[in-house]
Chains A and B, each alone.
Chain A
């Protein structure tokens, strides 16, 4: 069956096209504890099982929907706080313990504040600041308008500002 998602060549190119973005999206939205790599696998397995019903054009929407549902169910039962473990490369040669401590404190405040953002705000903000994706690119990934992405990023920043100053 050429040109449907059931065709091996089509399916593997869908994987190449969407898997990494989906992985990053899930990681930023739900954190590492929810095993984003497993969620990606599950979503593609489901796509394969339904390949006759989901044309390649609709594959992306399908994958994100399945992955989001599975993650939300897992979240509801695990009730974990999102952990985006910072891997701190030493980008400074300072050995001033005071400086180290302040940076560490800021990092922890920031981590908590990021975990407190809403899922949509967090994904948009992190995709922009960490992955360097522009508004337009994020809008394409999430399937929303550029204006919506703007609102989510500003909303995230405003909330972070308040949380960081308070903590």
Chain B
């Protein structure tokens, strides 16, 4: 990180204030909905709801990252080539399938609660990661790989020194949209009793208490912004690691200008749409 990430830091502070100082949020909601009582979701405070929400996202996205990258790498190896069409089809499916439908489909099979929601998010979150991994590995020029093999790179060093680093920006973009989508989709978990920031939203809809609804919506919206902003910051540092300067000292003041930038489509992915 070359400079302090103002946007990510700023959104994090805003989220922290909203979550940790309920009185402030209560006054704001009171001004919007005079006469509404209670103004804040009474069954759990925003801090624990946010923690619950983050927990779901963290568990499901970690699993999604591992399976997505694992599948993507596996089907592009010679021994996994048989499953390549399946991988492509799965990756494409992620684009056409609405997130709400995932949870709707998991309930009849898996029942209600935290576990099934995490499972649904895991499965859904895997697809953008898989897609990013495949796109990243695909765009590596065959000539580069042929040259690498011809120079005597073994399968492992070719993957970790050449193929992986070149695929990294794409893989990272896939992971980013996966996690951001999961932050949003996890709110739907409340409809199946998983808690999280969806709980006040659902409760507000049912009881027509729009103050509850806004409480949950503001918090989950901010959370998505914070997560995306931090991914943006880390994208920067991942790609500068990828074009390293550590081994060979370079003249001062040339580093940034010389760094090839990833394609425009991958810079600053704000939309939570999969790749």
Do these two chains really belong together in a complex? no
User: A-contacting residues of B (Cβ < 8 Å)?
Assistant: none
